[in-house]
Amino acid sequence: MIRKLRRKLVAVAMLSLFIVLLIIIGTVNILNYTRMVDDAQRTIAILKENDGSFPRPDMSPEHDKDIFKGMSPEAPYESRYFSVLMDADGNVSTIDTGKIAGTGTDGAAEYAKKVLDSGKTSGFIGQYRFAVKDKDGGTFLIFLYCGRGLANFRSVLFISVGISLAGMLAVFLLLIFFSGRIVKPVSESYEKQKRFITDAGHEIKTPLTIIDADAELVELECGESEWLDDIKKQTKRLTALTNDLIYLAKMEEGQKNAVRIEFPLSDVVDETAESFRARAINENKQLEINIQPGLAYIGDEKAVRQLVSLLVDNAVKYADSEGKIKVSLTNAAGIKLEVYNTCEHISKDSVKHLFDRFYRAEQSHNSQTGGYGIGLSVAKAVAEAHRGKISAYTADEKSLRITVLL
């Protein structure tokens, strides 16, 4: 349990850090890309407006002066661009590559044809930002080189991602180192709680045994009575609860000393389930058992028997009058044990808490059946001790299906 708590602590911290870094990196790089595109769009708008060239600021008309706002005075000298004029038939009329060295006339014509085929009026093609406008009955295309801006954007992106990954790795290592100290008080408290349950359980078992023996002696001397029967009944219930608590504490310790051997799982499940048939018949309930033969499993046979017994006992106990109980064991993608029973009512919200210690879905019903809400907690501990998974599901709130994957 403490190891799981430690892993969850590290996982939650790393997930939180990842989300924060993702938001920061995403925001920074989106703003960086948007600024680059805005600068390119502002520059290409001037070129588009002035037929592929920069106007002289001192000679430009008033409406052009607004376009120059926010731009560097060096922009006309730093920008690299070319233009292509296509006639109405889509043939190249003129090409101006005087302001760029990296693209010749053939390359410029090829870029222009690709843009026309795409049907777009603006956007990126390769490392160029382009814009299209109608001119002299044809189509005028202007291409602005943005390779430097795109390279800067990629550099910032890669550097920010690299630094973030390195930071996450450093935080992960620090969390691994410090998480043990963080959960140490919880671990100590939990260990004390388990020792208390185990010690108290053993201390309680002794007087319970004496009470039960004394009740037997009184019954021999004075004869049977409903008071003695009630004492014996409650003593057995309290003894069973004590044994379950001790067993649960041992299972949560990880069963380091448990003997894990290969045993015939099919036979174990069949024998355990069959032992409840007489009780089911006596309570006017139908028990159906479907076991795939020949299945073997490596684990603690005694614990697995306890698991099956608890699940079938729970199903028989809470099945409604003339209800159905089904026990099945299959091996398709893995070993799966299912215990199904009909019931009067169980809410979907209650199903979520069935494996919580001392949880009882229906107080009055449980008091009649004698449950303490500990059995399914033990079943869950057994399943997890074998690295399995246990879950409960109700489709119609009139039945319950518990599935164990081993």
Which DSSP letter does residue 125 get?
E
Vertex 35: Cα angle to 32 and 38 (nearest 5): 150
Q: Domains along the chain?
A: 2-151 (3.40.1840.10), 261-405 (3.30.565.10)
370 vs 28 pLDDT, higher one: 28
Closest CA to 290 of 341, 338, 335, 323: 338
Report the pLDDT averaged over residues 289-300.
Answer: 92
CA distance 208 to 232: 10
pLDDT at 57: 58
CA distance 94 to 104: 13
Helix (H, G, I), strand (E, B) or coil at 83: strand
Q: What is the pLDDT of residues 314-349, one digit of tens each?
A: 999 889 888 999 999 999 888 999 999 999 888 888
Q: Which amino acid, 373?
A: G
On the CB side of 398, CA atoms within 13 Å amount to 4
196 vs 91 pLDDT, higher one: 91
CA distance 305 to 269: 7
Vertex 206: Cα angle to 200 and 207 (nearest 5): 100
pLDDT at 361: 61
Yes or no: say if 157 and 29 are a contact pair by the CB < 8 Å rule: yes
Helix (H, G, I), strand (E, B) or coil at 223: coil
State the chain's mean pLDDT as an integer: 84
Whether residue 66 has pLDDT greater than 60: no
Closest CA to 337 of 251, 244, 273, 250: 273
Query: Would you state the structure tokens that stand for residue 336, as one six-digit string?
Result: 């799966």
Report the pLDDT averaged over residues 233-248.
Answer: 76
Q: Which amino acid, 33?
A: Y
Whether residue 171 has pLDDT greater than 60: yes
Whether residue 362 has pLDDT greater than 60: no
| C-alpha 329: how far from chain center | 28
Q: What is the pLDDT of residues 181-233, one digit of tens each?
A: 877 777 777 677 667 666 676 677 778 788 878 788 887 888 778 888 888 87
Q: What is the pLDDT of residues 2-43, one digit of tens each?
A: 677 788 888 899 999 999 999 999 999 999 999 999 888 888
CA distance 125 to 114: 9
Whether residue 365 has pLDDT greater than 60: no
Which residues are bridge partners to 92 per DSSP?
Answer: 86
Beta strand residue intervals within 159-282, DSSP E: 261-264
pLDDT at 49: 84
